Amino acid sequence: MTPERLMTINDRRRRNVVRRTNDARSANGNQVGSFMGFLQFFTPKSFDVFEEKGDRLVRSNDLGLAKLQYEEALLRLEKSTPPEVSEHRHRIELKIQDTRESLALQHKVSAGELVAAGCLEEAGELLELARELTCDPQLIQDVDNLVAEVA
């Protein structure tokens, strides 16, 4: 059997499985499932959902969105009352601080590249953001030095 023929057979099998799955769903009264999915849309998500999403965003190096997800997790935690609130709060606050520092460092590096390319206005905006995000004294000094270079 040729590889092309084998691929065609496998594709046909996959389509049949999908078709049978869809038929079974409609035969089982999928209206109830879709209504339950509709209700899930309105139920509030727990803080850990946002924390996990933030973790995934950090792994994909999307630090800005990760910071926002962690902040949302902290807000949701404040509204809920799980048993170890302080432990969860401390962990999420550390994650927020880590993403802020990483994001500030990322902005500083990007601003340095923009300065080297002669894009001083854009570099100044990134340096301002980096300055707002960080609490690290060394990074603040580095950012201030770059700002002086830009000005």
CA distances from 120 to 69, 79, 128, 129 (A): 31, 43, 12, 14
Diameter of the chain measured on Cα atoms: 70
Model pLDDT, residue 149: 82
- Global confidence as pTM: 0.67
Closest CA to 51 of 93, 102, 104: 93
Going by pLDDT thresholds of 50, 70 and 90, the confidence category of residue 80 is confident
CA-nearest of 105, 103, 96 to 139 is 105
Poorest-confidence range of 22-36, 50-64, 114-128, 132-146?
22-36
**Whether residue 1 has pLDDT greater than 50:** no
pLDDT single digits (tens) 25-43: 555 555 545 555 655 556 6
Element holding 70 (H helix, E strand): helix 63-79
pLDDT for 52 equals 94
Q: Which two tokens stand for residue 50?
A: 């946002």
Report the chain's mean pLDDT, rounded to a whole number.
Answer: 80
